[in-house]
């Protein structure tokens, strides 16, 4: 385990830079999950994620000679912003290697803090490999996002913040990617109150750490695919795995559909923008992955909020369709004056608002004289959609 004193030292070292983010009850999530849920809102951190804690603790600990040469890091985004801001505080050079697919919001966030960005590799692990060689060639100190005790000590301060406000927790849910956050936090939690259950939540599309934890040995995967890019780590760190095996009680996983639901729930019910990696704990509670926690006091770490706006718009649109607040219909009309008018009149009578309409008379699947009309409409739930279907069938627009 990490020395708890190192975590307390980190807390003192970073106190003037890191925000003491809110830790508060989540009434809607508590009702939905059957647990007494509290959210640690690291999505409201100064860089939009917890990573600033470990990055600043590491850079503040470097020698004067190392600081003079500068630093390099590999990151999908949140660690990158943490390193960039920390380097700027000390006036030192920072180069960040990011995967080619990194969302623009995270690239711009890094540049905002004055770091140089190089896009390289299909995922974090390829960016990491390039960053190591780049650092050696340019005499830069590599700041690892998780496989570093000083970084992990910084991440462990999240647990200190939580336990200062609520020490009688039954469980803490922590996102898992490379394992740095859960390693630091679990060491702090088990040192202060070993009765608290520490549960990691990973993305099903990035299963390396969970598989390794379950089999108690480091296992890598060949690829990762998940909307939770902040925890999309392909390979397992033996260092963080060894800490987790001593301090973490279990690791579970959630798929992208469940993560998307968690993001949408937090946005709609808690008024919080949380990225995929940060929403995995909420996803686990919403989808019944932790039934043994019902009636218990649970803390959930929302690790980051640097959400790609394009992805968020897709999640919202799909969420509206799944919750029956939007629907898409395609009907075939006789291509003559008045046909489209009658169709839209029916929708008007049923109080269905058309937000998009497309008219196609050239598709090769159509008979001559017919046209396909596709509409996207706002609806008021399942019953309303059934009413629309019934009416359109009665009018001959839809067939069973």
Task: Classify residue 135: in a domain, yes or no.
Answer: yes
Which pLDDT band, with edges at 50, 70 and 90, does 230 fall under? Answer: confident
Q: Is 51 a catalytic residue?
A: yes
Domain match, 194 and 46 both: yes
CATH code, domain with 352 = 3.30.70.260
* Cα–Cα separations (whole angstroms), residue 289 to 49, 173, 179, 283, 309: 25, 12, 20, 9, 28
Task: Classify residue 204: in a domain, yes or no.
Answer: yes
Least confident of 39-43, 76-80, 318-322, 336-340: 76-80
Look at the chain and count its residues: 400
Strands 353-360 and 370-378: antiparallel
Task: Classify residue 230: in a domain, yes or no.
Answer: yes
Domain match, 200 and 307 both: yes
Domain match, 328 and 294 both: no
Domain match, 60 and 193 both: no
**Please, what's the largest Cα pairwise distance for the chain?**
80
Task: Classify residue 360: in a domain, yes or no.
Answer: yes
Domain match, 185 and 302 both: yes
Q: What would the pLDDT profile of 309-338 be if each residue is shown by its tens digit?
A: 889 999 999 999 998 999 999 999 998 998
Residue 194 scores a pLDDT above 70: yes
Residue 365 scores a pLDDT above 90: no
Task: Classify residue 399: in a domain, yes or no.
Answer: no
Last residue of a domain, one of 142, 168, 196: 142
> Among the options 6, 212, 303, 326, which is catalytic?
303
DSSP calls for 194-221:
TTSEEEEEEETTS-HHHHHHHHTS----
Alpha carbons 301 and 180: distance in angstroms, whole number:
14
Q: Across the chain, what does the average pLDDT equal?
A: 94
Task: Classify residue 400: in a domain, yes or no.
Answer: no
Domain match, 43 and 57 both: no
Which pLDDT band, with edges at 50, 70 and 90, does 232 fall under? Answer: confident
Domains held by the chain: number: 3
Domain match, 102 and 122 both: yes
Residue 399: the pLDDT is 63
Domain match, 17 and 67 both: no
**326 beta partners:** 378
Q: How many CA atoms lie within 13 A of 314 on its CB side?
A: 9
Least confident of 141-155, 271-285, 357-371: 357-371
Domain match, 218 and 123 both: no
Domain match, 174 and 282 both: yes
> Among the options 51, 106, 289, 326, which is catalytic?
51
Which pLDDT band, with edges at 50, 70 and 90, does 142 fall under? Answer: very high
Task: Classify residue 114: in a domain, yes or no.
Answer: yes
Last residue of a domain, one of 285, 318, 351: 318
Residue 75 scores a pLDDT above 60: yes
From edge to edge, which strands make up the β-sheet containing 197-203? 23-25, 36-41, 297-302, 171-175, 197-203, 250-254
Domain that holds residue 353: 324-394
Residue 123 scores a pLDDT above 80: no
Domain match, 86 and 166 both: no
CATH code, domain with 94 = 3.40.50.1100
pTM for the complete prediction?
0.89
Last residue of a domain, one of 121, 142, 163: 142
For tokens 């790609």, the residue is 308
Domain match, 167 and 308 both: yes
Task: Classify residue 36: in a domain, yes or no.
Answer: yes
């Amino acid at each position: 385990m990490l020395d708890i004193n190192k975590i307390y030292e980190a807390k003192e070292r970073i106190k003037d830079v890191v925000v003491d983010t809110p830790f508060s009850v989540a009434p809607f999530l508590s009702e939905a999950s059957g647990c007494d849920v509290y959210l640690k809102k690291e999505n409201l951190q100064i860089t939009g994620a917890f990573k600033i804690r470990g990055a600043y603790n590491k850079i503040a600990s470097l020698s004067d000679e190392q600081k003079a040469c500068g630093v390099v890091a590999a990151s999908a985004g949140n660690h990158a912003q943490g390193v960039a801001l920390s380097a700027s505080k000390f006036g030192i050079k920072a180069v960040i290697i990011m995967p080619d697919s990194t969302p623009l919001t995270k690239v711009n966030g890094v540049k905002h803090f004055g770091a140089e960005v190089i896009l390289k590799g299909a995922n974090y692990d390829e960016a990491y490999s390039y960053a190591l060689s780049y650092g050696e060639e340019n005499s830069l100190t590599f700041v690892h996002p998780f496989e570093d005790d000083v970084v992990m000590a910084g991440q462990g301060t999240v647990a200190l913040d939580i336990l200062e406000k609520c020490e009688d927790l039954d469980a803490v849910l922590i996102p898992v990617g490379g394992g740095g956050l859960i390693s630091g936090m679990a060491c702090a939690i088990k040192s202060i109150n070993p009765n608290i259950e520490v549960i990691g939540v990973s993305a099903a599309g990035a299963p390396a750490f969970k598989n390794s934890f379950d089999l108690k040995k480091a296992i890598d995967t060949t690829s990762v695919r998940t909307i939770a890019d902040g925890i999309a780590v392909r390979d397992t760190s033996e260092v963080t795995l060894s800490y987790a095996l001593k301090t973490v009680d279990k690791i579970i996983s959630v798929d992208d559909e469940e993560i998307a639901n968690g993001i949408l729930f937090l946005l709609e019910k808690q008024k919080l923008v949380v990225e995929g990696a940060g929403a995995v704990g909420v996803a686990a509670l919403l989808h019944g992955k932790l039934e043994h926690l019902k009636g218990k006091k649970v803390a959930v770490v929302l690790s980051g909020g640097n959400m790609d706006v394009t992805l968020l718009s897709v999640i919202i649109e799909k969420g509206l369709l799944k919750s029956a607040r939007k629907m898409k219909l395609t009907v075939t009309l006789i291509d003559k004056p008045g046909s489209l008018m009658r169709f839209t009149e029916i929708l008007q009578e049923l109080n269905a608002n058309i937000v998009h309409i497309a008219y196609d008379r050239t598709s090769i699947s159509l008979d001559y004289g017919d046209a396909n009309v596709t509409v996207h409409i706002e609806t008021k739930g399942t019953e309303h959609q059934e009413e629309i279907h019934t009416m359109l069938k009665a009018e001959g627009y839809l067939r069973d």
